[in-house]
Homo-oligomer: A and B are copies of this chain.
Amino acid sequence: MAALRADPALRADSARVRARMLAAAREMLAAGDQDLPMNAIAKAAGVGVGTMYRHFPSRQALLESLAAESYAALVARARTAAEQEDVGAGLAALLRAALESQLSDPSLASVLSAPAHACAETTELGRELGAAALRLLDRARAAGVVRADVSADDLRRLMCGVQHAVRSGGADDPTAAGRYLDIMVRGLRP
């Protein structure tokens, strides 16, 4: 009985600590700190380094936790795009969603480009995103609006590439994202 009462309390506390670490990490990202040092996050969140590692066994795990919300939102947008009546518009919407999500959340860009996942949840999100993309691709192929030699994973990789192209500008041109997206959409036509 004591355990039953203690457990939720512990979990609630643990969740609060976890949220504090993620908030601290986000603040550092927002402040331009790309490195996200584990020690520094722990100090900023007021916890020991060990607690940091207990919640996030690797930097990749931390990144995936930071990106989880954006990733889920992207999956939702992808599903909406997949059901769109106009398949061509749906495909463009999927690509735009993938690009915008990465540009507004650098941790998502990193996770989408990563060769491997640290958290099972991320793998699941990836599966869901891939499934939505595949549904859309199948419809698009049937409608003849997309090249036949492109897979759902190709779309992911290409959008990671467009993100990289947008980011690799010295002086940032606000029109770049739109133009590059358009180039990609046109290039995917059969």
Contacts and interface: CB of A to CB of B under 8 A. Distances in A.
Interface string A156-190: 01101111111011100001100110111111110
B154 A179 contact: yes
A49 to B, nearest CB: 22
Given A157-B166, A161-B162, 13 more contacts: A154-B180, A157-B165, A157-B176, A158-B183, A160-B164, A160-B165, A161-B161, A183-B188, A185-B187, A186-B187, A186-B189, A187-B187, A187-B188
Interface residues of A, number: 32
B158 A180 contact: yes
Contacts of A189: 186
Count copies of this chain in the complex: 2
Interface string A115-135: 110000000000000000000
A157 B169 contact: yes
Q: Is the interface of A mostly helix, strand, loop or mixed?
A: helix
A147 interface: yes
Contacts of A164: 113, 160-161, 164-165
